[in-house]
Structure 1
Amino acid sequence: MNSLFIGATSFGLIVLAILLFRIIADGIGYINWDFLNSFASRRAEESGIKAAIIGSIWIMCVTAPLAFVLGVGTAVYLEEYAKKGKFTSFVQMNISNLAGVPSIVFGLLGLTIFVREMALGRSILAGGMTMALLILPIIVVASQEAIRSVPSDLREASFAMGASKWQTTLRIVLPSAMPGIITGNILALSRAIGETAPLIVIGALTYVAFLPEGIFSQFTTMPIQIFNWTSRPQEEFQYVAAAGILVLLIMLISMNTVAVLIRNKFSNRH
């Protein structure tokens, strides 16, 4: 069994290395300032990823605060305030199950609630709220694990000093759990920034030659722009798509690196 697992892992690493080599070889020559500072075009040599980068940043600016407040708030309530019982266990089970639901289901939910019922249209706000729903279960689970890791001795010491439940949660539990909470949030956002299906379902544009002016503007994102390029019949667009993938990979690696650095900083402090 161990040899089979090692063999499968080695094969996966080889395939990943080949894929990365192919993407780097095809896309590295197309990455320059003009590519980063130009809009999409019907000509491969003139295509850029500027609108997609700005659109992704706008989406994250809506998704991050919504998911953080709702996710961490839910985790604090479930771990510190909710009475343990059948209802709490039911809610916890459903949150864990939602973390494994295909992303396209959240896209259909966003299309029904935000785009149609709330009449937000194909806007950044609708897209950001949809992505917040997508990563919310992940943030709740990660935050709960971080809160559970806080030693009970700290809570008891706080209560012994006369602190209330809320004061203990705010000043003792949350600061101690913050490394895990922040790491979970950033990793969840890394998943959101690479998602395509939910945004396509709610009607995000695949060709944008302008920058968003607000949360009610239409938009595109890097994964959608890359999807658009790969669907083009011209071979040159495959190289442009590879360059877009490299930019997206750099952004994802940067976010993950920030998550590790923040976690290490808070861990050393505590």
Structure 2
Amino acid sequence: MVGLPEHLDPADDSLPVWTERYLELAVRGVRSAEVTAKISRHLQRFAAWITDGLGHDRLSAVTPREVSAWRDHLAAAGNIGRDGTPAPMAPTTVNNHLAHVSALFTWITAHAPAGLLRHGDPTKKVAPLPLPAPQPRALAAAQIRTVKNIVDRIETFHELKGRRHRGAVARAHVHARPLRDRAIIYLLFGTGLRRAELVGLDLDQLEPAEVDRLRQAKKARLTGVRGKGRTSRTIFVGRDARHTFAFQLSQASGHDRAELERRLGHANDRYLRLYTNPPDDIAAGYIEDL
């Protein structure tokens, strides 16, 4: 039991005591002051829940059922509303609480006397709350610029580093494919292709395909791109990513449905709305204009 008293009493069965030991030995001075305060706050909430529910704070009495009940309590009434009444807590915040309690019991399991947690870690069988799928949105101009800046420097991320390679000619890892990775990113940015469509491409579909002609050409295109429902279409290389490409195409075409169907490979209203969802800053601007 590294860092703990040598003659620890096996009967020491207090959740607050073990919580304080964990904070002192594994959190304070290791995590930032802000994160430390948050972890401490979450663990105190858990200890208060156990004490209020069981009438005592014995560590050995904490079971998966108690942890699950605490999770559900947070989801239903973990916050205090503006009117002072209990309010639901966001799933991400609930899962953050669970993660901190799980880290606590992982540490206790490693350092506590044998037999204190007779049934093992009570957090292991408690699943986090499911999170809603993120809503796809077009990339904002600043996000596009950031990604392109990273992609333009991608070779350096694949270079061998360390003392042995200092001063030597830069050499990439044996399995690195920085030029391929850059081409994939720029192709996604410039065409609006879906992932499955991109991986099914062949160089024969590129016009022009010769390196010299491609460098001099003002326009390039991909022919015979296979999409959903066995559709086939021609894709012109543009400058934006898929969702951003769709949004800009919608704006430029005056929301022409036929053009959107032809370029995006979708005839379904749901998908057309999804792929033309504007960036957050533009959507916020629409609200401000009302």
TM-score for both structures, normalised by structure 2: 0.25
More helix by share: 1
